[in-house]
Amino acid sequence: MSEPTEEATLDHRIVVERHDHVLVIRLDREDKRNAIDSHMTSALDEALNEADDDPEVRCIVLAGGERAFSAGTDLADGAGTPTERGGPYGVIRRTRRTPLIAAVEGIAYGGGFEIVLACDMVVAHKAARFGLPEVARGVIPTCGGLFRGWHSLPVTVAKQMVLTGRPLTAQRAYELGIVNELADDGQVLATALDLAAQVSENSPLSVAESLTVMNDVLDIPEELGWTRTDEATATVKSSEDYREGVSAFLEKRSPQWRGR
């Protein structure tokens, strides 16, 4: 792994490092399991905008901490307004020409897993976990989790994740094709940087054009997915179960569902 040539902290939520032609963006709110609030959304958007606009950046690695990649939206404060270029979290609906690799340690739950699904490749620690626990909170995945998982997962497994809220192990995710590389303790970022270096060795124009075509084709059926997700979200957010689920989570108690 190359030594970083520069490091910057944005809004005390992320740390940015440069490794030759690779930019590493690390979520830096580990005391909150890297839950995403409005400040982190803004910081991620700013960092990704700069990376997207810098011709010297040929690949991006998005990493979390040792205990958590991200637990998703900060339910106490919210994740803020979707950004103009990146959408939710500044990442989810971004149109990129620069490949994005997720380097996952610990948990990637809810919106954290949806960020992983928005990346092009994934490196994970062998003990990492991936999950969509929203149904246990009285909400639903709103950032692509209801349809992007099908790009890599069998439909039955995608439905199992959404409907049970139970996580996948890193090994299982690797076997099913969500994870490209598994890594041991202390090797996740190094493995991700090695993968990013393999990308960076190639023609930047060829990589950018290839990524654009692949993502454009994947985006065609996604438009229906976003429309239906928005409709379902509006239904859920007007329900008693939504209010009960969020309250129960914040109060650390079991929810009492009413089904309405």
User: What per-residue confidence (pLDDT) applies to 132?
Assistant: 97
CATH code assigned at 145? 3.90.226.10
Q: Active site residue: 30, 114, 244, 251, which one?
A: 114
Report whether 99 contacts 121 (CB < 8 A): yes
User: What per-residue confidence (pLDDT) applies to 29?
Assistant: 93
H or E element at residue 24? strand 22-27
H or E element at residue 122? strand 121-125
Domain assignment present for 138: yes
Domain assignment present for 258: no
Residues 133, 59: Cα–Cα separation, whole Å: 30
User: What per-residue confidence (pLDDT) applies to 250?
Assistant: 85
- Model pLDDT for residues 173-207, shown as the tens digit of each residue: 999 999 999 999 999 999 999 999 999 999 999 99
Domain assignment present for 73: yes
Q: Give the model's confidence band at 221: pLDDT under 50 very low, under 70 low, under 90 confident, else very high.
A: confident
Residue 96, pLDDT > 60, answer yes
Q: Give the model's confidence band at 171: pLDDT under 50 very low, under 70 low, under 90 confident, else very high.
A: very high
Q: Active site residue: 84, 134, 175, 222, which one?
A: 134
**Angle, helices 204-237/240-250, rounded to nearest 10 degrees:** 110
Q: Longest C-alpha distance within the chain, in Å?
A: 56
Residues 6+ apart with CB under 8 A from 43: 10, 11, 13, 14, 90
Burial class (CB in 10 A: 0-12, 13-18, 19+), 137: buried
Q: Give the model's confidence band at 75: pLDDT under 50 very low, under 70 low, under 90 confident, else very high.
A: confident
Q: Domains in the chain: how many in total?
A: 1
- Model pLDDT for residues 132-152, shown as the tens digit of each residue: 999 998 999 999 999 998 888
Domain assignment present for 172: yes
Domain assignment present for 240: no
Percent of the chain residues topping a pLDDT of 70: 95
Domain assignment present for 137: yes
Q: Give the model's confidence band at 6: pLDDT under 50 very low, under 70 low, under 90 confident, else very high.
A: low
Q: Can 114 be counted among the known catalytic residues?
A: yes
Domain assignment present for 164: yes
Q: Which of 109-123, 134-148, 190-204, 210-224 has the lowest mean pLDDT?
A: 210-224
Residue 162, pLDDT > 70, answer yes
User: What per-residue confidence (pLDDT) applies to 249?
Assistant: 85
User: What per-residue confidence (pLDDT) applies to 2?
Assistant: 56
Residues 6+ apart with CB under 8 A from 163: 135
The domain of 76 spans 6-186
Q: Give the model's confidence band at 4: pLDDT under 50 very low, under 70 low, under 90 confident, else very high.
A: low
Domain assignment present for 207: no
Residues 177, 122: Cα–Cα separation, whole Å: 10
User: What per-residue confidence (pLDDT) applies to 28?
Assistant: 94
User: What per-residue confidence (pLDDT) applies to 222?
Assistant: 87
The rounded mean pLDDT for the chain is: 93
